[in-house]
C-alpha cells in the first residue's frame, strides 16, 4: 500500500527534525527539554540524555524512511512528503521551545517588550 509508505516518510521526516536539536544540544554539553525531564517537555535533561534521545530519534527516522517501502530521494513525492513532516515538526518545535529559550512566543510578547 503506497499511501502507508507516504505516512511513514512523513513521520520519518518529523523524527529526523526532532533528532537535530536534541543531538546538537547534547554534543554541545547543554541541557535541553526532553520527554524524560520533570515536567516532561519543560524541564531540562542532561546532555547525555539528549544525545541518546537524538540518536534514538535518528534511528526511528532511518527505519521509517529507509526500511519502509522503497524511498527514492529523486522522487519529488517521496522527498516532499518527508520534507513536510520535517518542516511541520520544526515549526512546532520552534513554537514550543521558543517559550523556554527567548524565541518568539505565540503571543508576540517579545515585540511588546521592545
Q: What pLDDT score was predicted for residue 111?
A: 44
Percent of the chain with pLDDT over 90: 63
Q: What pLDDT score was predicted for residue 114?
A: 39
Gap between the Cα atoms of 11 and 3, Å rounded: 13
Structural contact between residues 6 and 81, judged by C-beta atoms closer than 8 angstroms? yes
Q: What is the pLDDT of residues 41-78, one digit of tens each?
A: 788 889 999 999 999 999 999 999 999 989 999 999 99
Gap between the Cα atoms of 2 and 16, Å rounded: 21
Among 52, 48, 49, smallest CA distance to 40 is for: 49
Gap between the Cα atoms of 29 and 46, Å rounded: 8
Torsion angles phi and psi, residue 78, rounded to 5: -65, -50
Amino acid at each position: 500500500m503506497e499511501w502507508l509508505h507516504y505516512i511513514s516518510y512523513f513521520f520519518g521526516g518529523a523524527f529526523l527534525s526532532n533528532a537535530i536539536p536534541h543531538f546538537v544540544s547534547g554534543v554541545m554539553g547543554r541541557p535541553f527539554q526532553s520527554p524524560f525531564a520533570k515536567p516532561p517537555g519543560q524541564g531540562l535533561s542532561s546532555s547525555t540524555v539528549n544525545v541518546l534521545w537524538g540518536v534514538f530519534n535518528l534511528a526511528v527516522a532511518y527505519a521509517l524512511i529507509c526500511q519502509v517501502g522503497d524511498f527514492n530521494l529523486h522522487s519529488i513525492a517521496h522527498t516532499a512528503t518527508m520534507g513536510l513532516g520535517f518542516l511541520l515538526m520544526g515549526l512546532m518545535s520552534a513554537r514550543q521551545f521558543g517559550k523556554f529559550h527567548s524565541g518568539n512566543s505565540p503571543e508576540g510578547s517579545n515585540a511588546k517588550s521592545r
